[in-house]
Structure formats: C-alpha cells, structure tokens
C-alpha cells in the first residue's frame, strides 16, 4: 500500500456561503479541547458559519477545570470509611452476641418464669388486710392501670420504647458519648425490655457477658411478645424499694391504695423510683423524691403525654405517703394466716385469695383503742405495749391486734407472747368447784391461809370474812380462789382449763389458782367463749376459704368442734358470777351500754401484766397490756386500762346488733336465744365448727379431744 505523504494536509468539508449549516467541530466537540495537548483551531471566518457557539467564557478557554476542594474530598473519605467501620462494628457486635448467646440455653427452652405467687388476705367484706408473698402485691393488667403509669415510666426510662426492637441504638450511642466525655459511667442505655430481660433471666453481674446476654434476650422478648405485654410484665415485676416488687405492691406500700387508683403525681413518683429506689423513696427521702417527680412530670410533658396545665397541677399537688399500710394491725392477722397456710393448701404456684373471718370494722376499732389509750395513759403507767383479740361465738377471729405498731415491731403479742394471766385464770378454778357440787351461794371464809407453806394474800391486803363464791369472784379474792383450788385439786383445775381451750402446758401447783402459769392471750380468750355460747367448745380460727384468683376453691372451712363441754346449769352459774364482776366488782369500767356482759380482770405478779377478758352473747374479747421485757408497770391493773379498752372495742362491735342475754341469765335461755353478729350470721349453731376442716372427727370425750388438739 502506498504510504501517505507526511505533509498531506487534512481537508475538512466546508459549505461556503451557507448560513444554515456548520459541520465544523467546535472546541467542546473535540477530544483535545481546551486544556488538551493539541492547540485549538483558529476562529472561523465571519458570517453565519463563524457565529460563536455557547460554551465556557472566553477567559477560561484553554485552562484546566478546577479540581474538588480538599474539604469535600476529606468528608467523602470519612463517610466512606465510617460506613466501612460501621459494617465491621455490626459484624463484630453480631459475632459477639452469637458468642455469648452460645452460653445461654437453647431457645426452645426459653420461657418467661412465673411471677412469684401473691397471697391476698381479705376481711369478711372483701377489704384487703394485707398482701403476702415475695412480691407484696397482686398482678395488675395494663388496661386496668391509669394511663399515667406506663406513660411516666416510658417518659423517664425509655422514650423510644414503642419504636425500638429491644435495643435503643440512639440512646445507647448517646449514653456512650456522654460516658466517654465525662470519663465515668453517667448514663445507661438499657431499654425497658433489657431491664425486664435482666430481671427475668440473669444475675445482677456487671460484666460484658451478662450485658450481651441481656441484649440477646431483649431481642427475643421483642420478637415473642407485644409492647403492651412487655410493659405489663415489667410493671408487675420491677423492684420499687421497701420490699415492694411490682407497681401494685409499691402503690400500697407508699400510698396505701391499689395501683388502679394512682394519680398523675403518684405515677410520676413511682416512675422516679426506678433509677434508684432507696435514694428516691418518698418515705425516706421526700425532698429527693419530689425533685425526681418534677423531672418525670417535665419529661411526660416533653413527650406530649400531658399538657402544661396538667403538669402544673401535678406539681402543686404532690403524692402523699401514708404509713398506716406498714403499721396497720391487719398485718398481724396476715402473718398468722401465712403461718397456718401450708397446713391448708401446701405449696402454692399461683396467686390466691384467703377469705378470713376478720371483720374490718372491728379490726380498725380494736387497733384505734389500743393505740389511743396507750398513747394517752401508757406513759404514766409505764406501759409500752398492748394486744387485743375478739372472737365470735364460733371461735372465729373477728379482730386481732398484736401490738401498738406493726411497723415498729412485727411480734404478735396476741398469739406468740406467753404471760401470766393472773386472776383472769380464776374462772377455771370456780368452774371446777361448781362441777364438784358447789354453787354461787356457797360460803367460804376470806382470811389468812397457808397451803403447804404458801400464804396468798389479797391485792387490797384486806379480808372480808365469810363471803359467797359469787362475791369472792367479783372482788377477785385470792384466798378464796386458793382454797377452792386446794379443795378440788390443782390437777382438776388444769384439766378444766385445757378442756375449755387453754393450750399451754400448766403447772398443777397450788398457785395455779392465781394464774401463775403462762398462757397466750388468744388461748385464754378462746377458753372464755364457751361461757358466751352455752357451753360449746371452740377452736380459734381465722381462715374461712382459700381460692385462686380465677375462682377455684382450694379450701373451705367445714366440720364441727368439740361439742358440749359445759353443762347448761354450770354455764348459767358462771355467767351469774362473772356478770357481777362488771356490776359491783373489779371490772366496773368494762361495760357495754345496753348489753348484758361478764368477764374477769387479771394482774400478774409485780404488776408486770394486766388483762381483762370478757364477753357478751355475741363476742368474746381479751385485752393485755405490759412490756416486752417483762419489766413492771406503774401498778397497771386489769380493772383500769384493759377494761377501758375492752369497753370501747365492744361498744363499736355491738353497734346495730340486736341485744341478747347471756346464756342462763335472764329470761332468754341458752336453748332459745338467737342473736346475729356483724356478718349477719346466726350466732348459736347446733355445733360450733372447728378450724381443722373436719380432719379430726368430733368425739364424745371432749376433754380428751382438746388434749389431742392442744396437748397437756
């Protein structure tokens, strides 16, 4: 092929004289335009063909284009490598989660553990006496709570709860940044779901392994349960301080009400506790609690849960902490119920309700009487404690006060304190004498005596000479009681007391006549009940029914008691004598207006204990006052403070009831008297039921039965 000539010129087509078409390449069309290696072509001739094309300004023609700035390139590189680093962080975080998740059980075995069962203990009219169990409160459904409760918790603890998947990435990043900037742990990034996972499954260890497992479990909870279910589980299980687990327990502990009735301010106070229950407890640190509550209310307003007016009202009307829930005497009843509960239902694995025999009105009256009179006169008598028990004709406990303040002392002095009853034991001596053929009109001489070297004296140190047994009991003459015990034998007196219901072991010595053997207030009061119901033995009981929260009955009281243990004519004689004690004897202060009543005072040696036990046709009540350390009082006697307490309690208990005569006294005989108690139950059953569920059948040998129940 012929070689091209090196100097051959390139000829481009030109249409001369045409002003319609120009096919010459412009600088922009050329691959070696401005800034290239080749020189730009000369400008075309004038005319339409030489018309300038729009393009870059003439001043920039032939120059290189500007390169991107350093800042732009830096930002792009940073964004790129940040994305790469983020991907590796996610991969690493996922690997770390997988590694620590391998130490958890298989997912097929993951189950939310059951909440510890709650025992709801209620009065005869369904009022709550106390909650017992590991939580101290019942489970409350989310829809039954005021909306302020979950809103306050989310506002202060987890604002993005409704949108995250168990882990709040934004909150976690913010917390990390703050902690790094401060150089110490200031904020936490845990969500409510993570907190629930920790409470349900993990130990409170502060390790990376525990934290990663918490994250894994939180994601699992979010996948398995709805947001409302998670929130409900959280509120019913989280710790609010003061031994309260769950929102209901905390509400009752701090505010004395169910969580169903909490106000906005109370809800905010509860939410504020979650960060540090002991630091923000309103009963311990009210100032810190108020400041924290304001913070929660502000957070609720920021989130739009409440408006400015609601916020101001909540701050102006702060939550009021009550102490009665912790100090109420119903807690003594609840503790006694819990002691007896295993004998009825064994172990429990779900929430249960215990229906008791306690009358809430009588319980409150008894509590007020003990507290008020001890506050008024306890100081001058050097008396620090008191106790009270009220039983109906069946032996059902209608009220029990184990001390003046449960919060200060949980020791139940009505059940667990064993003290000398003093002269309150004498009715058993007199009953034994009547059963040996004596009568209220039998004469004995009140004067100095000596029984095997023992020389009892009267409290007044006076002697009245020849007196009837009726007068001797009314005036509580020690010498006559000692003579009677010596005549019938101390062993017979002990058997009589056991037959009527005294459970403690008694010493059959001559001094038994003056109540030197120790007994509990509950058993002493129980032993007086047969005088009020016509001679029927009873067993004290407080549990009427036990059922699950869903309504299934686990136990219901049935069966019969010991039956007839005192003959009718002996009941009538005893009531005639002990009624005189309130009319002319040592218990003049113990009266119930309009009601026939009877009873006996008691004062132990050196004035350590003072008691009064009395009864009407409807109720029997026992009162004790003294000091836990057994130190002497300033001559406190059963005829003073105990008698006054008894009168006040019984007056309230009998309000609105039809008056009934004592068995064998007056026109109404024991076989025809019919009265009703505050629960509208007939009070004279043919056979008073016991508290043993029919497990011990009634026997004719009632004395042997009581010994089988109580022991010798």
pLDDT number for residue 113: 81
Least reliable range by pLDDT among 409-413, 583-587, 673-677: 673-677
**CA–CA distance, 390 with 438 (Å, rounded to integer):** 31
**The dihedral sign for the CA sequence 530, 533, 539, 541:** negative
Classified by CATH at the fold level, domain 367-710 comes out as Beta-lactamase (3.40.710)
> Per mean pLDDT, which of 188-202, 214-228, 685-699 is the most reliable?
214-228
The model's pLDDT over 568-621, given as tens digits with 9 standing for 90+, comes to 999 999 999 999 999 999 999 999 999 999 999 999 999 999 999 999 999 999
Question: Region 390-398: what's the mean pLDDT?
Answer: 96
Question: Does 391 or 200 have the greater pLDDT score?
Answer: 391
pLDDT number for residue 48: 45
**CA–CA distance, 613 with 575 (Å, rounded to integer):** 13
**Do 670 and 660 touch, CB atoms closer than 8 A?**
no
pLDDT number for residue 676: 37
**Do 351 and 549 touch, CB atoms closer than 8 A?**
yes
Q: What is the pTM of this model?
A: 0.75
pLDDT number for residue 298: 97
pLDDT above 90 for 473: yes
**CA–CA distance, 384 with 211 (Å, rounded to integer):** 52
437 burial via Cβ count (<10 Å: 0-12, 13-18, 19+): exposed
pLDDT number for residue 685: 38
> Per mean pLDDT, which of 203-217, 325-339, 531-545 is the most reliable?
531-545
pLDDT number for residue 703: 39
pLDDT number for residue 68: 60
Identify the residue whose tokens are 């306890």.
378
Least reliable range by pLDDT among 167-176, 355-364, 499-508, 635-644: 167-176
Q: Give the helix/strand (H/E) hosting 599.
A: strand 598-603
Question: Region 5-21: what's the mean pLDDT?
Answer: 50
Nearest to 661 by CA among 571, 565, 564, 560: 571
pLDDT number for residue 183: 62
**CA–CA distance, 34 with 461 (Å, rounded to integer):** 137
**CA–CA distance, 79 with 295 (Å, rounded to integer):** 38
Question: Does 548 or 18 have the greater pLDDT score?
Answer: 548
pLDDT number for residue 92: 58
State the catalytic residues. Answer: 157, 423
CATH of 145-327, one of 1.10.3810.10, 2.60.40.1840, 3.30.70.1140, 3.90.1010.10: 1.10.3810.10
pLDDT number for residue 99: 55
Question: Region 293-301: what's the mean pLDDT?
Answer: 97
Nearest to 528 by CA among 609, 600, 478, 586: 600
The model's pLDDT over 253-264, given as tens digits with 9 standing for 90+, comes to 999 899 999 999
Question: Does 591 or 699 have the greater pLDDT score?
Answer: 591
The model's pLDDT over 179-195, given as tens digits with 9 standing for 90+, comes to 566 665 545 568 999 99
Strand order in the sheet with 619-626: 397-401, 385-392, 619-626, 609-615, 598-603
pLDDT band at 102, cuts 50/70/90?
low
Question: Region 44-65: what's the mean pLDDT?
Answer: 49
Question: Region 109-120: what's the mean pLDDT?
Answer: 82
pLDDT above 70 for 688: no
Question: Does 499 or 690 have the greater pLDDT score?
Answer: 499
Question: Region 367-392: what's the mean pLDDT?
Answer: 97
> Per mean pLDDT, which of 6-20, 121-135, 159-173, 688-702 is the most reliable?
121-135
Q: Range(s) for CATH 3.40.710.10 in the chain?
A: 367-710
Strands (E), 265-396: 352-356, 385-392
**CA–CA distance, 662 with 284 (Å, rounded to integer):** 51
pLDDT above 90 for 515: yes
How far lies 544's CA from each of 119, 122, 336, 456, in Å? 14, 10, 14, 45
What is the average pLDDT score of the chain? 83
Q: What is the DSSP string of 370-407?
A: HHHHHHHHHHHHT--EEEEEEEETTSBEEEEE-SS-TT
If one counts every other C-beta atom within 10 angstroms of the C-beta of residue 48, the result is 12
pLDDT above 70 for 532: yes
Nearest to 670 by CA among 526, 544, 569: 569
The model's pLDDT over 116-157, given as tens digits with 9 standing for 90+, comes to 889 999 999 999 999 988 888 889 999 999 999 999 999 999
Nearest to 46 by CA among 64, 28, 69, 22: 22
Q: Range(s) for CATH 1.10.3810.10 in the chain?
A: 145-327
CA angle 324, 330, 335 (to 5 degrees): 120
């Amino acid at each position: 092929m012929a070689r091209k000539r090196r100097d051959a010129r390139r000829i481009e087509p030109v249409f001369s004289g045409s002003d319609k078409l120009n096919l010459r390449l412009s600088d922009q069309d050329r691959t070696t335009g401005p800034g290239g290696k080749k020189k730009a072509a000369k400008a075309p001739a004038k005319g339409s063909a030489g018309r300038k094309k729009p393009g870059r300004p003439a001043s920039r023609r032939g120059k290189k284009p500007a390169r991107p700035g350093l800042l732009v390139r830096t930002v792009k590189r940073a964004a790129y490598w940040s994305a790469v680093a983020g991907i590796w962080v996610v991969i690493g975080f996922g690997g770390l989660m997988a590694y620590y998740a391998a130490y958890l059980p298989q997912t097929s075995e993951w189950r939310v553990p059951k909440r510890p069962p709650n025992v709801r203990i209620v009065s005869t009219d369904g009022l709550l006496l106390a909650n017992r169990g590991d939580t101290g409160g019942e489970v409350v459904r989310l829809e039954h709570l005021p909306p302020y409760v979950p809103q306050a918790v989310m506002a202060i603890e987890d604002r993005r709860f409704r949108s995250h998947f168990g882990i709040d990435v934004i909150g976690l990043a913010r917390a990390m940044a703050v902690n790094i900037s401060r150089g110490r742990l200031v904020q936490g990034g845990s969500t409510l779901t993570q907190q629930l996972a920790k409470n349900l499954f993990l130990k409170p260890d502060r390790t990376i392994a525990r934290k990663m497992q918490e994250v894994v479990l939180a994601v699992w909870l979010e996948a398995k349960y709805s947001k409302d279910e998670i929130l409900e589980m959280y509120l019913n299980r989280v710790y609010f301080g003061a031994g309260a687990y769950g929102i209901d327990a905390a509400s009752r502990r701090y505010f004395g009400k169910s969580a169903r009735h909490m106000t906005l301010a109370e809800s905010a106070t509860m939410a504020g506790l979650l960060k540090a229950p002991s630091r923000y407890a309103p009963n311990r640190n009210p100032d810190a609690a108020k400041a924290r509550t304001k913070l929660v209310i502000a957070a609720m307003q920021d989130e739009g849960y409440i408006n400015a007016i609601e916020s101001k009202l909540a701050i102006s009307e702060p939550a009021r902490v009550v102490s009665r829930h912790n100090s109420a005497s119903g807690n003594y009843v609840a503790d006694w119920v819990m002691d007896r509960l295993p004998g009825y239902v064994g172990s429990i694995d779900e929430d249960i309700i215990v229906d008791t025999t306690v009358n809430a009105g009588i319980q409150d009256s008894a509590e007020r009487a003990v507290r008020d009179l001890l506050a008024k006169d306890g100081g001058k008598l050097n008396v620090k404690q008191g106790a009270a028990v009220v039983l109906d004709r069946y032996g059902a406990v209608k009220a029990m006060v184990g001390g003046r303040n449960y919060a200060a002392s949980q020791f139940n002095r009505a059940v667990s304190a064993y003290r000398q009853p003093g002269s309150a034991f004498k009715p058993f001596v007199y009953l034994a004498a009547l059963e040996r053929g004596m009568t209220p009109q039998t004469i004995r001489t009140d004067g100095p005596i000596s029984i095997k070297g023992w020389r009892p004296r009267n409290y007044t140190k006076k002697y009245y000479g020849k007196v009837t047994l009726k007068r001797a009991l009314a005036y509580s003459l020690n010498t006559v009681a000692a003579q009677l015990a010596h005549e019938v034998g101390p062993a017979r007196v002990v058997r009589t007391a056991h037959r009527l219901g005294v459970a403690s072991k008694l010493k059959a010595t001559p001094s038994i006549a003056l109540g030197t053997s120790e007994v509990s207030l509950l058993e002493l009061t129980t032993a007086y009940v047969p005088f009020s119901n016509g001679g029927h033995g009873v067993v004290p009981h407080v549990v009427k029914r036990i059922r699950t929260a869903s309504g299934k009955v686990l136990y219901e009281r049935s069966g019969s008691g010991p039956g007839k243990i005192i003959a009718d004519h002996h009941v009538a004689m005893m009531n005639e004598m002990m009624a005189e004690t309130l009319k002319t004897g040592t218990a003049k202060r113990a009266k119930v207006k309009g009601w026939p009543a009877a009873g006996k005072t008691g004062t132990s040696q050196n004035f350590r204990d003072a008691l009064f036990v009395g009864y009407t046709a409807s109720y029997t009540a026992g009162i004790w006052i003294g000091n836990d350390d057994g130190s002497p009082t300033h001559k406190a006697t059963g005829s003073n403070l105990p008698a006054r307490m008894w009168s006040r309690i019984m007056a309230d208990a009998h309000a609105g009831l039809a008056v009934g005569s004592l068995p064998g006294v007056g026109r109404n005989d024991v076989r025809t008297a019919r009265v009703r108690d505050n629960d509208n139950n007939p009070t004279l059953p043919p056979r008073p039921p016991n508290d043993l569920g029919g497990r011990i059948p009634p026997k004719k040998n009632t004395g042997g039965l009581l010994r089988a129940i109580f022991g010798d």
